[in-house]
Chain A
Amino acid sequence: MAETTITAPRTTPKLRAGNRRSSGPLPSKKVGKRYWIVLSILIVLSLGFGFGLLAWDNPMPPGSRGFWLIAQMRASNVLVMLVVAFCQAIATVSFQTVTNNRIITPSIMGFESLYVAVQTAAVFLLGAAGVVAIQGVGQFVLQVLIMVALSVALYGWLLSGKYGNIQIMLLVGIIIGAGLGSVSTFMQRLLSPSEFDVLTARLFGSVANADPSYFPIAIPLCLLAGTGLILNARRLNVVSLGKETSINLGINHRREVMKTLLLVSILMAVSTALIGPMTFLGFLVATLAYQLADTYDHRYIFPVAVLTGFVILSGAYFIMKNLFYAQGVVSIIIEVIGGTVFLIFILRKGRL
């Protein structure tokens, strides 16, 4: 009686000499080479745009004292872009990992509508003078605190219960965001045209919104939260396999998700309070970073994402400033050019 046997040949492919079998994040030489080339290009582009912003159209001869004075004044804008790119990139990638969903961003979780609501309420209640009131370090800290508090309350409430469910949390977050948006729209309806004009300027995501006096608080905060996430990269890799697989591999999934969401909310709050809404940037950066890095490993995705974010932001700002003389509203060009690049990528590759 023939017992069932395994028919497939039990052979290991003969590997070329020196080609060790490895489970590393960059599975083949080709992928590895591509990764480092992409990273180098991003670094060169970042340096190029960064330097371009400091030096282009600088009336003083390079190297002179006046040149450096002007460059120094522009440096704060570059720093803002660096902070925002860092926050948005790391926050979005981490957020998409723990929610196991690559088509949402943390900004739809009520962050931006909360920002809009606070700004609108200030103008609505205090008049145009309110705009003055919503500047300054105290207001910045308060804004960050409110946003972090809201998200911690939301995550804590919805994820710790017996029916802790990430999909429901996302839905509630989106609905709260939409609700806040409607309240803001209603208040905007009642504003006088001049007040509305003042408010609109604040509601476009703009590097010019940032005040250098926020830096001593914003930079340490985002470095702290960002480092926390980067050091956690190996565990995020496991979390990206989903809840059940990560529990099987010994990860305390709920704790990991809560910790990540807390750090994400700090990053998003800092970025939004600093320059205003940037709905599309995080999503664009994360999606491009997955395509460019082409690996599951967050230790490799994070640097690509941050650099991509900086290249997009500084590139958009550079073009707006030197081509269209409209440096304020970078979010517009990010959405136009970024969206186009994004579409080309997706249509060419056919997968997220």
Chain B
Amino acid sequence: MITLENVHKKYSNDVAIGPVSISIPAGGITALVGPNGAGKSTLLTMVGRLMGIDEGTISISGFDVASTASKDLAKIVSILRQENHFVTRLTVRQLVGFGRFPHSKGRLSAADELIVSRSIDFLDLGALEARYLDELSGGQRQRAYVAMVLAQDTEYVLLDEPLNNLDMAHSVQMMAHLRRAAEELGRTIVIVLHDINFAGHYADHICAVKHGKVVEFGTPAEIMRDDVLTRVFETPVTVIDGPRGPLAVYY
């Protein structure tokens, strides 16, 4: 369980995050949704200790993010940001191998290699593992990054807009992979999503953020409603019954 208590971060007089108090249950996929600039990514980066907080506490399965050593947290939680650019030239497999660093400290054992192979296969990157990252398409590269955080073998996986720049097919494929990671590998995945319909279909819980505060939290059935979505996104939204569940129409 990820618990945020009274989390507060101030940027300027009128831009602030929080106070946020929320518990994200263990297991399944929790989607963070909300309008631009609402603070979804910021919340995620604070949970992933990439950014400090001014007040309050964040704990991940009982460990306080601020006081637990970073190297210990790296075995419990992994975070993947949107922009990933490396100056070094890496093959897919080398990148995924870095995911084992918290456990192996750079000395990969046979067991580590096995886990690396497994997460590469899990994301169907087997045929590409010897390729360099700069030889891959955007979608393939995104999968390689996800394979790295899966190889980190953490209970909690935080992903910041992993569907960014992916086309329809690759988005669907990525979400299906994440769904399987949650179900087959028992990971708790917290993901920032832009498309409310993806959240409605693939997530177990939806957390709506607006003006730096959590305004709604519930199952897709509770969130995928005209009045709730209209209020969150400040634009008229109609939810209709689609062939695969509720569908938000906003244009």
* A interface list, Cβ under 8 A from B: 1, 4-13, 20-25, 27-28, 96-97, 100-102, 234-235, 237-238, 240-242, 244-245, 247-252, 294, 296, 351
Contact = CB atoms under 8 A, between A and B. Distances in A.
Contact of A21 (B127, B129, B176): B129
Contacts, number: 116
Contact of A244 (B81, B88, B105, B108): B81
Nearest to B48: A248
Contact of A250 (B72, B96, B172): B72
B113 A22 contact: yes
A244 B81 CA distance: 8
A21 B49 CA distance: 33
Interface string B67-97: 0001111110011110011111111011011
Interface of B: 48-50, 70-75, 78-81, 84-91, 93-94, 96-102, 105-108, 112-113, 116-117, 121, 124, 126-127, 129-130, 134, 149, 152, 172-173, 176-177, 180, 243-244
Given A23-B93, A240-B88, A247 B70 contact: yes
Contacts of A235: 106
Contacts of A28: 130
Contacts of B129: 21
B85 A242 contact: yes
Contact of B91 (A27, A96, A252): A27
B50 A5 contact: no
A248 B93 CA distance: 18
Contacts of A247: 49-50, 70
Contact of A25 (B94, B117, B126): B94
A23 B113 contact: yes
A12 B74 contact: no
Contact of B74 (A4, A7, A250): A250
B115 to A, nearest CB: 10
Given A23-B113, A248-B48, A8 B88 contact: no
Nearest to B116: A23
Given A101-B87, A240-B86, A244-B50, A249 B102 contact: yes
B176 A1 contact: no
A250 B102 contact: yes
Contact of B124 (A6, A20, A96, A249): A6
Contact of B50 (A4, A102, A248): A248
A100 B87 CA distance: 6
A27 B113 contact: no
B48 to A, nearest CB: 7
7 nearest CB pairs, A to B: A23-B97, A250-B74, A234-B106, A250-B71, A296-B88, A12-B126, A8-B124
Nearest to B118: A12
Nearest to A250: B74
Contacts of B244: 1
Contacts of B81: 244-245
Given A12-B117, A21-B117, A235-B106, A250 B86 contact: no
Contacts of B94: 23-25, 27, 296
A242 B86 CA distance: 7
